[in-house]
Structure 1
Amino acid sequence: MRKSAGWSWRILVVIALISLLVWATARIQLVFVAVFLGLVITAVLRPLVNVFAKVMPRGLATALGLLSALAFVGGLLTYVITSVTGQWESLSEQFSTGIAQLFALAQNLPFGLTITEEQVSEWLDQGQTWLQENQSALLDRAAAGAGSVFEVFAALALAIFCTVFFLARGNDMWKWFLNQLPAKVREKWMLAGGVGWYTFSGYARGTVIIALVDGFLAAIILLIARVPLAAPLAVLVFIGAFIPLVGAPAAMIVAMVVALAVNGPVNAILVGIGIALIGQFEGHILQPLVMGKQVSLHPLVVALAVTAGTLVAGILGAVIVIPIVAVMWAVYAKLRNLDPPMEDLEPDARAAQP
């Protein structure tokens, strides 16, 4: 009973601390997101800045690294925008033709099911009526969305501000933090910080590399299938790769819908098969090759963590939960005292089993 009581109050303290951490993070969510993004950008750009720092001062290397990243993102956005504007006229015509073909197919569905133009027109009228009845609520949501957009830009600005200091003075900041701790615990904190940053940076860089490869392969498949807006859809696949389990399938569905509306069901199926093959290539080759042992989590742990993160903080929680869990496990595995592995059960123990 004494042992059970001892473990019980310790577990209650741990639960209270986790609850306090979740509550505090929710209260300062913008700051947390900004610091997290700053760490991600730092992990991705740090190798490039280290290369620049060999031939120039650290501050100048940091500025050049950030400018290189901004140039890459700006060029990607410019390419996507020009692709959309260049194909918009022809795409609208193809899309209208594809929608008409889908309506024709819908009128001859198997098992006696049909969707007529009158039904579609009725649904559109109902949707228009609903919009008119809920106009004020939608305007309120739009105003709230404008505030969210402002928060997004504020978080990005703060993230870039944090990134500048993490890249330029990160080592000095870490040393200052260690010097504030008692000398007897500094070694453990150094070990925990080292393995934590190794895991986090490996996950961040690996995710970016895998996302780039996924987007590039998706662009090739979409171009071969002659799907319009191949560049924006490839960028969507790139973004979806950052959301574990659900991001890539969601991007695949969008690409299939575009291919279905423009080129018909056969083309949509081919696009779906191609992007599914990309997912298999990522899971069985890219992930082990790029990530290695830096992020070694069981698929069941990933699924449960993503679900829990989504329930707590939506899409944001699904994005950030995996690196957090990976860092926590890496730190625990580094600091624990691992007992020898359990041998096979003795013959008597096996015989006693039902």
Structure 2
Amino acid sequence: MSDDPTPRFRNPFRHYPPVTDRTVTTKVDEAVPAPLRVTAAYSWRLLVIAGVIALFIWLVMLLKALIIPMMVGILIAALLWPGFQLMLRARFPRWLAIATTVIGAIGIVTGLIWLVVWQVRAQLDDVQTRTALAFEQFKAFLLDSPLHLTAGDIDAYIAQAQEFLTEQQDWLLSAAGAVTGTAAEVVTGALLSLFILVCLLADGAGIWRWTLKLFPRKARPPPTPPRATAGTR
């Protein structure tokens, strides 16, 4: 008899073999060639991936008024981040660094737009002159072409085109209204991108940590180890 007074637990299932994972197959499965089974397994997985991609594209198209400004804001924040960090290292207050970055971004975009408009206005007279010259050359080509057109025929066709445009005035007005609506959407998207830019500059790290919490823990990147100070070894 053992001197240990603690009773030992005896497993009543110790005489049974251990349970292992088993794949249940049927005669039909065994009759299908192995390459065909592998191909079928790949096929349905690829179909699932294609469906997820299609769903993502559909959601982007459905929420383009929100997703596109958000992506633009993230891109602008990534471009301005080095300068913003440089101002923070220079002991700038955070609100002053944000204001300087946002005002600088607005100034750069405004300057680029003004440069484009200035170039267009500077070349407008030259473009009009070249357009009139190209029209006269095209008219001379039609007069000398095998079509045997006369100047009166060309003027008649031009008058018909002007009459057609006059008849389609309602359609042109509706198209102008669509362009105006598009311009309003662009302005709204620009304001939303500006708001997202300010939020990212204000607390981009906090927003990133909150975004990572939406994913499983195993899918998150490992935490960054703390930097060693000069006094530690």
Which residue identity is paired with 2:94?
Answer: R
TM-score normalised by L of structure 2: 0.66
Q: CA deviation at 1:155?
A: 0.9
Is 2:59 the partner of 1:24? yes
1:40 positional shift: 1.9
Aligned to 1:187: 221
Q: Secondary structure at the match of 2:196?
A: helix
Q: 2:98 — aligned with what?
A: 62
1:147 counterpart = 2:181: yes
Q: Closer, same or farther in 2 for the Cα pair 1:130/1:159, shift >3 Å?
A: same
Match of 2:83 in 1: 48
2: CA distance, partners of 1:87 / 1:4 = 61
Distance in 2, matches of 1:178 and 1:6, equals 31
Structure 2 CA distance for partners of 1:119 and 1:47, relative to 1, 3 Å: farther
Higher helix share: 1
Q: Deviations over 1:139-159 (max 9, x none)?
A: 222222222211111111111
CA distance in 2, matches of 1:116, 1:47: 66
Change over 3 Å in CA distance of 1:62–1:103 after alignment to 2: same
Match of 2:168 among 131, 134, 152: 134
8 Å CA contact 1:31, 1:155 repeated in 2? yes
1:274-353 to 2 correspondence within 5 Å?
A: none
* CA offsets 1:320-344 (integer angstroms, 9 cap, x no match): xxxxxxxxxxxxxxxxxxxxxxxxx
Q: How far is 1:102 from its partner?
A: 5.9
Distance between the aligned counterparts of 1:84 and 1:57, measured in 2? 41
Name the CA shift for 1:34/1:98 in 2 (closer, same or farther; >3 Å): closer
Distance 1:107 1:86, change over 3 A: closer
Match for residue 100 of structure 1?
133
- TM-score, normalisation: structure 1: 0.45
Query: Where in structure 2 are there 5+ consecutive unaligned residues?
Result: 1-35, 225-233
Q: Aligned in 2, Cα 1:106/1:38: closer, same or farther, shift over 3 Å?
A: same
What is the percentage of aligned positions where both structures have the same residue?
A: 28
Higher mean alpha-carbon deviation, 147-156 vs 72-81, is at 72-81
Q: CA, structure 1 residues 99+144, in 2 after alignment: closer, same or farther (shift >3 Å)? A: closer
| CA 116–63 in structure 1, closer or farther in 2 if over 3 Å, else same | farther
C-alpha spacing 1:123/1:48, structure 2 compared with 1 (3 Å): farther
Deviations 1:206-241 (A, max 9, x none): xxxxxxxxxxxxxxxxxxxxxxxxxxxxxxxxxxxx
Q: Which structure exhibits the higher relative contact order, with contacts defined as CA atoms closer than 8 Å and separated by 6 or more residues?
A: 2
SS at match of 2:220: helix
Aligned pair count reads 186
How far did 1:86 drift?
6.1
Question: Residue 12 of structure 1 aligns with which residue?
Answer: 47
State the Cα deviation string for residues 104-125 of structure 1 (Å, max 9, x = none). Answer: 476369x956887556534432
Deviation of 1:185 after TM superposition, in Å, equals 2.0
Q: Does 1:168 align with 2:202?
A: yes
Residue 18 of structure 1, CA deviation: 1.2
* Structure with larger Rg: 2
Change (3 A) 1:123 1:66: farther
